[in-house]
Amino acid sequence: EVYGTGIFIHATFPLLLLWAAMSAWAESHDLAVVLDRILLLALVFAIVVLHEFGHAMAGGRYGVRTRDITLLPIGGLARMDRIPSIPSQELVIAAAGPAVNLVLAILMFAVMTASGHPPEFSDAAMLNGSLAERLLLVNLSILLFNLLPAFPMDGGRILRSLLAMRMDFVRATQVAVFLGQS
């Protein structure tokens, strides 16, 4: 538990780590590659926790308590007590998670560039780059994925909150869901 918010790991998470280790071993027969893959996966999930805590911290600012955060094989889920009734508050809460990934990416980019190893944005970097380079690309991927306007993801919630500034909440939800499916 961190700041009154429980953190849970879905039962399939150990299976995901095992799968990553086995596939790395099958590809390379090298323990260093296996450990690198496990470390990368663990750090990706740490980034997901930070993303979800971005939502939780923003929610706390408006009196919205986050009961728990669950790590799933496909990402994370912060369960909040309620949805704010003020659209601008929902906007801040929904945008806070992707904002964490943006800040992490900017910091990683700055450190890598300042150290004389600017990141390379390529498929090869995602697969074979340094750990820092791969984590930078992971943060950018999480950021962009979460900004897709598919409800109930962050982008869909951002869209709904913007629509709710112009129309009633129920109609805004319907429009956000429709646009997310289009």
Question: Alpha carbon of 160 to those of 29, 93, 102, 106: distances in Å?
Answer: 48, 12, 21, 27
Does residue 10 contact residue 72 with C-beta atoms inside 8 Å? yes
Pick the catalytic residue from 1, 27, 52, 133: 52
Residue 73 backbone dihedrals phi, psi, to 5 degrees: -60, -20
Question: From CA 158, how far away is CA 151, in angstroms rounded?
Answer: 9
Residue 1 known to be catalytic: no
Does residue 29 contact residue 50 with C-beta atoms inside 8 Å? no
Q: What are the DSSP calls for 102-118, one per residue?
A: HHHHHHHHHHHHHTT--
Closest of 112, 177, 166, 168 to residue 139, by C-alpha: 112
Which residues have a catalytic role annotated?
52
